[in-house]
Amino acid sequence: MKTVRSLPARPLVRALCALALAGAVVIPSSAQPGGAPGQPGQPPAGGAGFPGGNAGGFPGGAGGARGGAPGGPGGARGGRGGQIPTGPAAPVPAEVTIPRPTEAELAQLNSAVNQFVASNPLAKKYASLISVTPPRAVNPAATFTQSNVRNAQRHDAFVALAQKGDIDLLFDGDSITDFWQNAGKPVFDKYFGGMKVANFAVSGDTTQGVLWGLKNGEGQGFSPKAIMLMIGTNNATQGSTGPEIAEGVGAIVMEMRKDFPNAKILLLAIFPRGAGPTDANRLKNIEANKLIAKLHDNKNVFYLDIGDKFLQPDGSIAREIMGDALHPTAAGYEIWAAAVKDKLAELMK
């Protein structure tokens, strides 16, 4: 990946605006690098005694929600195992597509930046403060890639349930949705027990895992009236940027529209997480939410942000609502269900 030459911050408003318009990401050099190759550095996640890992640190969900699949391994921090090769890229809606500069545009940017640095003493002095890097050409979050947690046991059970049909409402996502089948089971029974619901969410999963599942049998054989989707928080902890998460969510929505053309999709904003409003992964999710909100068309896709309902006035999350500042307790699931029940009932008519 090409990197545009470093520049100082304050006197470069025009140059950096041009770079931003070209799809580049501006990262202070003090924040680089912090993760695996190709991933932006980040400050430590979590804090205040709360874990900063994946949404999947509890045991896998038990069978429930109208014949849900047998509980899979939640595992520590989402049950992640060895490296899985990245699958083929998925189509992404224009509303959330990251602008990516061409080779010619990068060459032009480099030329302009070099000229500026050569002519500006202040730029020469502080050239190491800022690096400008284009977005990744291939976004793993928007690929059909099987995750370790969406393993054969769980995936095959979902496919078998899909082939039986007779599903009116589909839940999909990660552990936060998966755990409707254990921590949220009493609340599920209260609000959704009389419906034909299938829960294909998997503890520890990512956008690419959901995409792979849909492409490989979880999106065929039935025609739900409505879908409740929330996914992306694990991508944040695995190095994805907010815009990359949004591309992954958008790709899922596009795949669901293809697989279930008659379904109404309730697209939930990714829930808040972490000790407070400055939590690094919460900020990524907020950035992603601002982008996926553009997918709302009030016809087939209905975006809904209920995140504030889980927060205290200071932006923290009470342990009574999310015991680890990530996974809802029974009280958290009660808040969730009360916030979506009327909308889901409307979409299923």
Residues annotated catalytic, as ranges: 175, 324, 327
Contacts of 236 (CB under 8 A, 6+ apart): 242, 245, 281, 284, 285, 288
Question: Tokens 């907020």 correspond to what residue?
Answer: 286
Buried b (16+ CB within 10 A) or exposed e, 299-332: ebbbbbbbbeebbeeeebbeeebbbbbbbbbebb
The pair of three-digit structure tokens given for residue 215, joined into one six-digit string: 């492409």
How many Cβ atoms are within 10 Å of 26's Cβ, its own excluded? 15
Question: Tokens 């998997």 correspond to what residue?
Answer: 202
Q: How far is CA 342 from CA 144, 305, 337, in A?
A: 33, 14, 9
Distance from C-alpha of 226 to C-alpha of 260, rounded to nearest angstrom: 9
